[in-house]
Amino acid sequence: MIKHTVLAVFLSAFVSSAIADNTIYIDQVGATATININQDGSGNRVGTSGDVSTSDGSTTTLDIDQVGSSNQLDYDVYGDNANITSNVSGNSSDIGINVGTTGGTNGGADDVDINIQSPGNSNTVDVNVGTATSVTTDDVDIDVTLTSGSGSNTVTITENSTASSVTDKTTDLDIDGSSNTVTISHTGSAQHDTTLNHTGSSGTLSVTQSGAEASTVNATTDGSTTSLTITVSD
């Protein structure tokens, strides 16, 4: 467990594991935290669905590298100016990141960058931003890249902010491979954005954007037997 509660104090955590089935749990509170985690092997975890790791405070830099198969990441981030990077190399891993979804001392989140690299097969990526009710979550940029040879991956990105001051809801997804399932949903107050690229075959891609009119979908696909559904509404 990592925990600090003093604002404006620099926190640096570096954890490295070369042993399979290693579990790391982080509970961090306070501003200006830098957390680096490296796990090498199969069946490693950072948090679990029932015991999620958490960073609650402004200016969080989170860099998690997991090399191997069947690894798991469950992490919640609250607060402004967060930079989150997840690199997963291997197959059958599960990545879950929530940003400003259920509260925390700092409530929602503002100015957050999420970058996920997930080469391999049968990986699951699930990113949730904000809630459909009262949590204010603005300006969250999500980049997910499934690189060459990737197949049978599932990516779900749900952006639910209802803040009236929202200026950016940008998602950029690149796919290179086959049999990938991607579901992207942006709901809330305008400027929804979303850029989707695809190279390969047998993909099932869905983009839904709604709320206060403004919306941009820029989709490029290549390959055969790909299903792309785009739904945009006020």
Total Cβ atoms within 10 A of residue 135: 22
CA gap 54, 226 in Å, rounded: 37
The pLDDT profile of the chain, 234 residues, written as one tens digit per residue, is 444 333 333 344 445 444 557 889 999 998 899 999 999 988 999 997 778 899 988 888 999 999 989 999 999 988 888 889 999 888 899 999 988 766 555 555 666 778 888 888 888 999 888 765 555 666 677 888 877 566 788 999 888 766 555 556 778 888 887 788 999 888 776 677 788 888 877 788 898 887 777 777 788 888 778 888 988 877
CA gap 90, 121 in Å, rounded: 7
The predicted pLDDT at position 232 comes to 81
CA gap 67, 65 in Å, rounded: 7
Interior angle at CA 137, CA 134 and CA 138, nearest 5: 135
The predicted pLDDT at position 105 comes to 53
DSSP one-letter code for 153: -
Look up residue 173 and give its two tokens.
Answer: 């997804």
The predicted pLDDT at position 94 comes to 93
CA gap 65, 79 in Å, rounded: 22
Place of tokens 């699951």: 124
Task: With residue 186 as reference, give the H or E element that holds it.
Answer: strand 181-187
Can you give the pTM of this predicted structure?
Answer: 0.83
> Which residues in 31-180 belong to E strands, given as ranges?
33-40, 45-46, 53-56, 60-67, 72-78, 82-89, 94-99, 109-117, 124-129, 137-151, 154-159, 169-178
CA gap 32, 48 in Å, rounded: 24
Short-list 67, 145, 137, 129, CA closest to 96? 129
Strand partners of residue 156 = 126, 183
The predicted pLDDT at position 137 comes to 67
What is the domain partition of the chain in residue ranges? 11-233
